Amino acid sequence: MTDRLLYVALVLSVAGLVLLVFVSHYVEPPYIKVGGLDSGMLEKNVHLKGVVSGVHEFKGGSLLMNLSEDGSTVDVYLPYSVSVGLNKSSVDGSKVDVTGVIQLYQGRLEVVVSKSEDLVIYND
């Protein structure tokens, strides 16, 4: 009886993990206005929209964008793996849709984008 119970528990656990993997691809983090970001959201995934109001390229090829929305701004960091295919000069002034993790860098909040599909640029 104990072996049967362990087998059922194992099957249910594996089925639950598989279900979580499939569902995680369809669940998006909540949309937050740039002005609504605060330090209580550290390490949380967020979805932001705004206009790029400045771009700084680092020596290694990573980018730091200033994202503005309704008078508020936040820094968005793109590591080289995300920024490698971007035309840096055409990004400035563009509308963007960003999904990333809120982190603290030198006392300031910034959103770190880890995958290129988490950055959508609209060139109107």
Q: Answer whether residue 97 is part of any domain.
A: yes
The total of structural domains in the chain comes to 1
The pLDDT value recorded for residue 47 is 93
pLDDT (tens digit per residue) in 9-18: 888 898 888 8
The pLDDT value recorded for residue 1 is 64
In this structure, the dihedral spanned by the alpha carbons of residues 38, 104, 96 and 79, taken in order and rounded to 10 degrees, is: -170
Q: Answer whether residue 22 is part of any domain.
A: no
- Residue located via tokens 């993997």: 21
Task: Report how far residue 93's alpha carbon sits from residue 61's, in angstroms, rounded to the nearest whole number.
Answer: 20
Q: Answer whether residue 89 is part of any domain.
A: yes
pLDDT (tens digit per residue) in 45-101: 999 999 999 999 889 889 999 999 999 999 999 999 998 888 777 788 899 999 999
Domain that holds residue 103: 34-122
pLDDT of 41 over the 70 cut: yes
Average pLDDT over residues 23-40: 81
Average pLDDT over residues 33-50: 90
Q: Answer whether residue 98 is part of any domain.
A: yes
Q: Answer whether residue 92 is part of any domain.
A: yes
Encoded amino acid at 115, one letter = K
Q: Answer whether residue 2 is part of any domain.
A: no
Q: Answer whether residue 23 is part of any domain.
A: no
Q: What's the pTM?
A: 0.78
Q: Answer whether residue 10 is part of any domain.
A: no
Average pLDDT over residues 89-116: 91
Q: What is the CATH number of the domain that holds 70?
A: 2.40.50.140
